[in-house]
Structure 1
Amino acid sequence: MSTVAVTQVPARLARFVLHMFRPWVYATYGLLWTLALESSAVSLTGTAWRPAAATWVRALSVILALLFLRMLDEQKDLAYDRVHHPDRPLVTGAITVAELRGGMAALTAVVTGLNAALSPAAVLLILAALGYALLLAALEHLSAALRERQLLNLAVTCPVQVLLGAYVYGSLAAAGTVTADWRGAVLPALCVCVLLHYEFARKTAWETPPGARLYSAALGPRRSAVVTAAFAAGAVGCQIVLFLPDGPAGLLPCLTAVLPAWGLRRFLRARRGGWPLPLATGFVAGTHLALIVRAVMLP
């Protein structure tokens, strides 16, 4: 690679991030997710939560991990994108595989350095999430079923999100901020249910365009809609288990359940188009914000 090309790599990666990662979306989600999980974990110990320096290390690590996953997905989806998304940066040559892998290596070094300041456990936990994603990419390369069967692919990719949730909770436990117990499983499960509600919502529609990877194509529109709503119900169930002892005020995050309920009603009544995504987005943002507000206000 020429000197001129090397100097252009940061700019090419920056354009990729702005086009494919959309920091105002993914970074906001990563920040809210981390703050909601950490604040809830701390408040459940009966301790008032306020963000500390370690909080921002965890949030930045999660955001950078999400960028790592986006770069990896761009490579995994190359064959599909050549047919269905010919404007994607990797297809058009706006970025190369080597540049993306270099970016992933840099991200790995940064999150390792950040978490070394927290604890060895934090380093291992964040690297476990990134390592699992790399392992999964290798398995998808070898298995056509993993690449082509949406539900199977979701089943094996979902643990990446679980591992990121375990990183946030586990790093808190390693620091002595919380004592690891059964809530360390329920809290990440809550966040995963919220994410899966959105994941199913964006891939649930009455019609399936040729080549589209929709869950409704495998399950049927009605069943896919029911699963979409069920994940929202799962999130609410986790909140009830965790926060019911706090009384009505502790159940504030449950109020966002009106959004998926409304989305299900609209989708089933319309019999055309897709799940109303603004409602799914509102459920994700609203639930995380409500969890943060609850932690700040209680105990």
Structure 2
Amino acid sequence: MAGGDHVSTAQLGAGQVLARLGRFVLTMFRPHIYATYGVLWTLALEGSAVLLSGTAPAWAPSWGTAVRVTSVVLALLFMRMLDEQKDLDYDRVYNPDRPLVTGAISATELRGAMLFIAILVAGLNATVSVESVLLVLAGLGYGLLLVVLERWSARIRDSLIWNLLVTYPVQLVLSGYVYGSLVSTGVVTADWPVLPLLMLFACVFLHFEFARKTMWRGEPGARLYSSVLGPVRSAGVAIALAAAAGVLALMLFRPWHVAGGAAIAAWAPCLMPALAALGGWSFLVRRRPSWPLAPAMCFVLGMFVSLVAQAAAR
């Protein structure tokens, strides 16, 4: 995973290293996208878990919430830094402008930042519970395990579907961290709704994953689900995932049992798949060259925001 360091890290001062890391974050981990996603994902999952558990009169953010939000965002940054190193050989061919390829950042600098992130999230979660520390480190550890698995297996490394099956559980482990942290502090009790709730969040993420890699025609060598499944089947999977998220929201939150002003917030998550359907219509009926990203992103953000609003309203 070593990158071609155009400038040796040993030749740089601490300020220069921090500046290089800062530019990497702004370029490869755009905060307005990734941080927003991490914050909303954590708040939506925590609020929904509290709502379904019924152990608290109402959900409200706490110190534990701040720790979990910060930990998830930093874990996503950790994974982005890891991916930059893991995908170096592919990027040398298909993405020659990536920071690690050009020498704008070095593998040593990225690994140092990853170590700092691991220590920081462990320290933060130590203020919440021991279980929280173990769970968040398990998420980071799974990311490191993926490097070993991809080196060991050409199928996992080269097959898009196999790679998804192996890499996606990182998201599940981080969702499990959020839920497990809530259980460990007595905010919620472990119960059956956790399974369909985690499935709902999985469907939301996977809809976006399939949508952004679905095109009628892709560039040679591009890693697209539409190249493996065909454009229509890939689009069908994206639509089915969004529909499943809506059905799970209906099953979990039963909005028809909610009265008053909270009813609007309760129905909102169930209606979000309409945004995904708009993307499917644009791709399949209007024959857009690729699945439009705007409806897919709006579906993800709309689902998370509506789940947060529902938890706050009830």
TM-score range, shorter chain: over 0.9
Structure 2 residue aligned with 1:254: 270
- Write 1 or 2 for the structure with the bigger share of helix: 1
Structure 2 residue aligned with 1:20: 28
- Structure 2 SS opposite 1:270: coil
Query: Do 2:53 and 2:191's aligned partners in 1 also have CA atoms closer than 8 Å?
Result: no
Structure 2 residue aligned with 1:159: 169
Identity of aligned residues (%): 56
**How many angstroms apart in 2 are the aligned matches of 1:142 and 1:40?**
38
Query: Do 2:72 and 2:174's aligned partners in 1 also have CA atoms closer than 8 Å?
Result: yes
Q: Deviations over 1:59-107 (max 9, x none)?
A: 0000000000000010111111101110000000001111111111010
**How many angstroms apart in 2 are the aligned matches of 1:76 and 1:10?**
22
**1:188 aligned residue (198, 201, 204):** 198
Structure 1 residue aligned with 2:42: 34
Q: Deviations over 1:208-266 (max 9, x none)?
A: 11111000000000000000111111211221121016636223211111111111111
Structure 1 residue aligned with 2:107: 97
**1:132 aligned residue (142, 152, 156):** 142
Task: Give unmatched runs, 5+ long, in structure 1.
Answer: none
Residue 197 (str. 1) matches residue 213 (str. 2): no
TM-score (norm 1): 0.97
Query: Do 1:43 and 1:295's aligned partners in 2 also have CA atoms closer than 8 Å?
Result: yes
Between 233-242 and 11-20, the greater mean CA deviation after superposition: 233-242
Residue 11 (str. 1) matches residue 11 (str. 2): no
Q: Which amino acid aligns with 2:234?
A: S
**2:287 aligned residue (268, 271, 275):** 271
**How many angstroms apart in 2 are the aligned matches of 1:289 and 1:7?**
37
**How many angstroms apart in 1 are the aligned matches of 2:255 and 2:296?**
28
**1:171 aligned residue (150, 158, 181):** 181
Q: Which amino acid aligns with 1:149?
A: S
Structure 2 residue aligned with 1:285: 301
Deviation of 1:269 after TM superposition, in Å, equals 1.2
Structure 1 residue aligned with 2:312: 296
Deviation of 1:134 after TM superposition, in Å, equals 0.5
**How many angstroms apart in 2 are the aligned matches of 1:185 and 1:121?**
19
Q: Which amino acid aligns with 1:79?
A: D
Deviation of 1:272 after TM superposition, in Å, equals 4.2
Q: Which amino acid aligns with 1:137?
A: V
**How many angstroms apart in 2 are the aligned matches of 1:264 and 1:153?**
24
**1:58 aligned residue (36, 53, 68):** 68
Deviation of 1:184 after TM superposition, in Å, equals 1.6
**How many angstroms apart in 2 are the aligned matches of 1:183 and 1:127?**
24
Query: Do 1:207 and 1:272's aligned partners in 2 also have CA atoms closer than 8 Å?
Result: no
Deviation of 1:179 after TM superposition, in Å, equals 0.5
Deviation of 1:3 after TM superposition, in Å, equals 5.8
Deviation of 1:174 after TM superposition, in Å, equals 0.5
Structure 1 residue aligned with 2:236: 226
Between 71-80 and 39-48, the greater mean CA deviation after superposition: 39-48
- Structure 2 SS opposite 1:48: coil
Q: Deviations over 1:183-223 (max 9, x none)?
A: 12222221111011111110000001111100000000000
**How many angstroms apart in 1 are the aligned matches of 2:19 and 2:181?**
33
**How many angstroms apart in 1 are the aligned matches of 2:162 and 2:200?**
21
Task: Give unmatched runs, 5+ long, in structure 2.
Answer: 1-8
**How many angstroms apart in 2 are the aligned matches of 1:247 and 1:150?**
42
Structure 2 residue aligned with 1:236: 246
**How many angstroms apart in 1 are the aligned matches of 2:91 and 2:68?**
32
**How many angstroms apart in 1 are the aligned matches of 2:42 and 2:170?**
15
Between 249-258 and 49-58, the greater mean CA deviation after superposition: 249-258
Structure 1 stretches of at least 4 aligned residues deviating more than 3 Å after TM superposition: 1-7
**How many angstroms apart in 2 are the aligned matches of 1:81 and 1:251?**
43
